[in-house]
Structure formats: C-alpha cells, structure tokens
Amino acid sequence: MVGAIGAVSQDVPELSILSKGEQSMSIGIKDIARRANVSMATVSLVLNNKAGVSPETRRRVLSIIDEMGYKPNLPSRQTPTRRGTIRFIVFNSHGQVVADTPFFASLTGAIDAESKKDGFRLVISHISERDIEAELRLIREEQTLEGFILLATEMNEGHLQHFLELDIPFVVLDSYFEMKPLNQVVINNCEGVCKAIHHLYEKGHRQIGYCGSSVMINNFLERNQAFIQATRQLKIPVQERHIFRVQPTIDGAYQDMLARLSDSLDLPTALFADNDLIAMGVLKALKDKGVSVPGDVSLIGFDDLPFCEVTDPPLTTIRVFNRSMGKLAVKRLKSLIEEGTEEFVKIEVGTALIQRDSVAEVPLSHTGRSTARQ
C-alpha cells in the first residue's frame, strides 16, 4: 500500500457509475480508496498510470474499478483542471503563543496567497483540544478536500496523534515532532539561537542571561537547549539567578520580570529572550526599574516582528522567515497531492541576525552587575 498519508493527483478525473436509465452519479476518489482499502494516493497513482504502486495493489484497484463499472469523466482540454480544497488548521491549546500577532498573520497570508496561486481553495479552521473530533469528522466527510496544513505550534504528541490516523496528505508547520516520520516545515531554532549568543559574545559579553518562556512548546524547548549548548561551547557560565521564566506575551513578561527585578537588580551584561514579545515586556520592565538598554544590559529577541524597528531602542533580534515557511508548507503539500509519495521530509527554514540598537559592546572586564536603582 502506497503511503498511509496520500491524496488525489490533480490529474485524476472524476469518476461516475452508470445506473438504470443511463443516469450517472458522481463520486469522489475517497469512495474508490475506501472500497479498495487503500489510500487515496494509491488510487491516484493507479488512475494516472504512475509508478509507486505494487503490481498486486494495482491489479486489485483496477479490478474493483472494472467490477463496479466506474468510468472516468475526462475534463475538456479547453477547461483547466480545477483543484479541490486544502485546510489550514490552526491549533490553539492555551492561547499564549498562537494569537493575533504579526508573526501568525504574515504566515497565514503567505499560505493563502500560495494556495490561490496553485488553484486551491483554502479553508482556515481555528480549533482547540475540545474541537479535535469535530474537525476530524469534517476532514473525513469533505469530498473535495485534498490535504491540510496543521499549525502545530501549541501541539503536543497527544494532540498530533489524532491526525496521524487520517488517510490524507498533510504537512505539520512550526513544530518538530520526532515520534514518527512526518512532513514538517520548521524553524531552525538552534541556528537562530547560536547566531544570537555568538553575536553577544563578539560584543564582549561573558555574562549572558536567559528570558525563557514559562509556557513550554517545542520551539521554546529547542531554543532553551540551543541556549545551553551555545553558552557551553563558548565557555560562558550561566548563573541560575540570571534565568528568568516569564509568560510569552508582552504584558505577562513585563509583570513577571518586574516582580523579579523588585527582588534584585543583579543582572548579567546581556539577555536573550525566547521571542520578541518577551523581549518587549522585559524591555519595559527594565526601563521602569531604571535599567538602561543597552547601557546597562544588552537585549536580543527572536522572530523580528514589525514593531522591533520602532521600540526604544530598536530591538536586535533573530529574523524568522515566516512567509517562506507558509509558502514551503503549501509547496510540500502540493507535491504530496500530485505525486502521492511515501517520502517524508523535514524542511528547516533558516534565520538571520538583525542588528539594531539594543546590543552594545562591553569591556571584557565588566562585572555584569547593573548599578541602576529603583
């Protein structure tokens, strides 16, 4: 059987069965696949006479088609082949990461534009854990659905497991899972964090703190591990008191950081934040406590959201090419739909260091202790 994950090629003609009176009833390729107990990709490959199907399976599918009297309704050469629907499923577990932010707005816009360019109709679903079963029913029942993209930023393996049972191509976006081979488009978090820490190191920082998210998702876990790895490689000792666990929102990070700073203003010379929203909240808290950025403490974020250019000071950060992520997800899904391949691909999208004014050089002899007062 070709591919537990598969779908219809755009070349597949609609099939019909003749009934009494020569009336025809249109059916979808899902019906053929269900009857033959194979994936839709397998039926697609058989109907289009493409490689990738075992001789035994090919004979079985053709036999069932012949047995049931199915005949293809070939489209007119003058009429361009119309594609079906793809779904963009936005999973929201707690709402503290996936939200109405410029990052996800840009990502969604890229998916929408790329889908339209390729002739697909895009349907966007916003679901939570309690909506999973209802969403699965919609996917199974939608006859024109050719595949889906799953925004798994806030997903865990338990959430994802429900979608693995579907016999339809899909791409996981913005979260990496090692539980089994999947088609995934993710951020190269390790590369991005290493660029940030090396940049601080080159500026003379030898005491670097970490403003990490208190909400654990795969992206933040990877950034946490990359931070540990990068500082160890550079032989930078990280003090426990310089690790700040804060909420991954501007207001949440501000409140949490403000509470920590009220206890002590013992700070490193530089701080790395898990994302730009955290960096913004931390920046505001530091200002409220009279700590100068970058005079007393340098600060670097992750994502390069639009507001980074207009903060005071403008925020040095790691750019994530979110529009490229969206386009690549659609392209990979299109490939799965057209080729019905069993190959699983992990696509890592690179990052770039964007230097602005929130990072400054420090003397190697700097003690790392801020002298700011409340």
| Residue pLDDT, tens place only, 242-251 | 999 999 999 9
Of the residues 272, 302, 320, which one is the last residue of a structural domain? Answer: 320
104/136 same-domain check: yes
pLDDT tens digit sequence for 286-306? 999 999 999 999 999 999 999
Pairing of the two strands 24-27 and 85-91 = unpaired
The reply to whether 51 falls in a domain is yes
89/178 same-domain check: yes
Provide DSSP, 180-249: S---EEEE-HHHHHHHHHHHHHHTT---EEEEEESS--HHHHHHHHHHHHHHHHTT----GGGEEEE-SS
96/180 same-domain check: yes
The reply to whether 6 falls in a domain is no
Domains identified in the chain, total number: 3
Q: Which pLDDT belongs to residue 201? A: 97
Give the mean pLDDT of 244-273. 95
122/44 same-domain check: no
| Pairwise pLDDT comparison (31 vs 240), residue with the higher score | 240
Q: Which pLDDT belongs to residue 94? A: 79
Per-residue pLDDT band for 159 (boundaries 50, 70, 90) equals very high
Q: Which pLDDT belongs to residue 29? A: 66
199/306 same-domain check: yes
Give the mean pLDDT of 130-134. 93
268/316 same-domain check: yes
The domain that holds 21 is classified in CATH as 1.10.260.40
100/90 same-domain check: yes
Contacting residues for 296 by C-beta, under 8 A, at least 6 apart: 267, 286, 370, 371, 372
195/283 same-domain check: yes
Give the domain extent around 24.
Answer: 14-73
pLDDT over 60 (residue 308):
yes
Whole-angstrom distance, CA of residue 191 vs CA of residue 351 = 7
Q: Which pLDDT belongs to residue 17? A: 34
**Closest by Cα among 273, 295, 280 to 208:** 273
Q: How far apart are the first and last CA of the chain?
A: 68
> Residue 88 — φ and ψ, nearest 5°?
-110, 105
What ranges in the chain are assigned the alpha helix state H?
29-36, 40-47, 55-68, 102-117, 132-141, 157-164, 189-202, 218-233, 250-263, 276-288, 322-339
Check: pTM over 0.85? Answer yes or no: no
To which residue do tokens 């899902």 refer?
30
Lowest mean pLDDT, pick from 12-16, 273-277, 315-319 = 12-16
The reply to whether 294 falls in a domain is yes
Give the mean pLDDT of 325-334. 96
The domain that holds 165 is classified in CATH as 3.40.50.2300
pLDDT over 70 (residue 330):
yes
pLDDT over 60 (residue 339):
yes
Q: Which pLDDT belongs to residue 5? A: 32
| Pairwise pLDDT comparison (190 vs 105), residue with the higher score | 190
The reply to whether 4 falls in a domain is no
Q: How far is CA 212 from CA 222, 273, 290, 309, 318, in A?
A: 11, 6, 22, 22, 15
pLDDT tens digit sequence for 176-226? 999 888 999 999 999 999 999 999 999 999 999 999 999 999 999 999 999
231/309 same-domain check: yes
Q: Which pLDDT belongs to residue 24? A: 36
Q: Over the chain, what is the mean pLDDT?
A: 85
| Pairwise pLDDT comparison (8 vs 258), residue with the higher score | 258
The reply to whether 346 falls in a domain is yes
Q: Which pLDDT belongs to residue 314? A: 98
**Closest by Cα among 62, 350, 217 to 53:** 62
The reply to whether 243 falls in a domain is yes
Whole-angstrom distance, CA of residue 314 vs CA of residue 308 = 6
The reply to whether 341 falls in a domain is yes
pLDDT tens digit sequence for 118-127? 999 999 999 9
pLDDT tens digit sequence for 349-370? 999 999 999 999 985 545 444 4
**Closest by Cα among 91, 85, 65 to 162:** 91
Could you check whether the bond before residue 72 is cis, i.e. omega within 30 degrees of 0? no
Write down how long the chain is. Answer: 374
The reply to whether 138 falls in a domain is yes
Q: Which pLDDT belongs to residue 253? A: 97
Q: Which pLDDT belongs to residue 250? A: 96
Q: What is the DSSP letter of 308?
A: G
pLDDT tens digit sequence for 38-87? 776 677 767 766 666 777 888 888 877 776 665 555 444 343 345 799 99
Of the residues 53, 73, 93, which one is the last residue of a structural domain? Answer: 73
- CA dihedral (103, 108, 113, 117) positive or negative: positive
pLDDT tens digit sequence for 75-88? 443 433 457 999 99
Region of residue 149 (left: phi > 0; alpha: psi -120 to 50; beta: else): beta
137/169 same-domain check: yes
39/136 same-domain check: no
332/184 same-domain check: yes
